[in-house]
Amino acid sequence: MDLSLNEDQRDLRDLVREFLEKEVVPHRAQWDRDESVDTSIVPRLGELGVFGFGIPEEYGGVQADFFTYVLVMEELGRADSAIRGIVSVSNGLVAKTIAAHGTTEQKEQWLPGLATGQQLGCFGLTEPGNGSDAGNLATKARRDGSDYVLQGEKIFITNGTWADVALVFARTSDEGPRGVTAFLVPTDAPGLTRTEIKGKLGLRGQATASLAFDDVRVPESAVLGEPGTGFKIAMTALDKGRVGVAAGCVGIVQACLDAVVEYTGERTQFGKPIAGYQLVQEMIADISLDADAARLMVWRAADLIDRGEPFRVAASKAKLFASEAAVRSSNLAIQAFGGYGYVDEYPVQKLMRDARVMTLYEGTSQIQKLLIGRAETGINAF
């Protein structure tokens, strides 16, 4: 395997990094304090093309392989994980799922806006009583003539109050996972209430919301894919989504490494830079190892996707390792910064807060271990 980047990939990575260093990094601390990014950044990111990766060019998308997508996700995670979440949910979970399973009419309706950042999407799967147990959804969609009527609640929905369309998974029969259907629901539909969740530990700059469906009526044409295939659609989206999250975690680890190397090279104690002390270098070495190992696991998963080979287990391994590495590395970064790491004048405390949720969403670390264990043994754990 050739692990070098080609010229186009390097140029794109550098272009995205330059934009983020200028337009995101200087504002991320204030956006974190405000619990909201300046949403004017969204269409500007759209102009950069990051919302269009993997979307057909005829709908305003950008031709790019999945490997290129994860390079960009790493850069977004390095700059601000809140921005990475906005992009990866709208593009990776929603737009790409519409591109893969939508009708021509659905693609024409939603993809041009999503691919350019003029519109945002959110992924309505998690419920107050159902997180890891996604096959046991309580939200229901009953048939009423040629329409469906949705009743239920979703929670922890990224982009929830900003999105123009919600990809919602609801139960249309009592057949377990086979009874789940996917719907494209305009967020201005009567009966849909969106409430932003404040006071989060991390990812404070992105809108996270609960969605309440009180007899929300949608036409049959809102069904994405075939009725009863929603669970499979959701799991397929999350398999690739986990690689995107893992790439963002690589960005967190790299940001920790960059910050620690710079700070410890400048900070002096006992007459010399603290980077010259053995135990500080041990922390730097541990972060550096996590960065390389996590990046290689993400690249392997992306390579499998691009070659059309099975990648589910590789995605789980990448997501598990990279998310836990982000937590470890950000904790070490704060230790290296000492008391200064505990205040938001410096970036490492935000990196730690943003890293923590990565082990929870799009499949907890425990769920990833179960998936890996099942693949190795052929036995469903209980």
Per-residue pLDDT at 59: 97
Query: What residues form DSSP beta bridges with 93?
Result: none
CATH level 2 (architecture), domain 123-228: Beta Barrel (2.40)
Per-residue pLDDT at 221: 97
Per-residue pLDDT at 176: 87
Model confidence pLDDT, tens digit, residues 220-229: 999 999 999 9
Per-residue pLDDT at 382: 74
The third-level CATH classification (topology) of the domain covering 7-120 is Butyryl-Coa Dehydrogenase, subunit A; domain 1 (1.10.540)
Per-residue pLDDT at 279: 97
Contact 247, 74 (CB under 8 A): yes
Q: Mean pLDDT lowest for which of 4-8, 20-24, 130-134, 323-327?
A: 130-134
Query: If you search the block for the tokens 């990939």, which residue do you land on?
Result: 9
Residue 336 pLDDT class (50, 70, 90 cuts): very high
127 secondary structure, DSSP code: B
Is 62 exposed, middle or buried, given 0-12, 13-18 or 19+ CB atoms closer than 10 A? buried
Model confidence pLDDT, tens digit, residues 69-122: 999 999 999 999 999 999 999 999 999 999 999 999 999 999 999 999 999 999
Per-residue pLDDT at 1: 65
Nearest to 53 by CA among 80, 76, 35: 76
Is 13 exposed, middle or buried, given 0-12, 13-18 or 19+ CB atoms closer than 10 A? middle
Nearest to 61 by CA among 119, 14, 113: 113
d(CA 260, CA 302) in angstroms, rounded, equals: 28
- Annotated catalytic residue 362: yes
Q: Mean pLDDT lowest for which of 2-6, 22-26, 278-282, 327-331?
A: 2-6
Domain boundaries, the chain: 7-120, 123-228, 231-377
Instruction: Catalytic residue, from 35, 75, 324, 362: name it.
Output: 362
Average pLDDT of the residues in 291-315: 97
- CATH code of the domain made up of 231-377: 1.20.140.10
d(CA 21, CA 243) in angstroms, rounded, equals: 24
Question: Is 7-120's fold the same as 123-228's?
Answer: no
Model confidence pLDDT, tens digit, residues 124-140: 999 998 877 778 899 99
DSSP 301-315: HHHHHHTT---HHHH
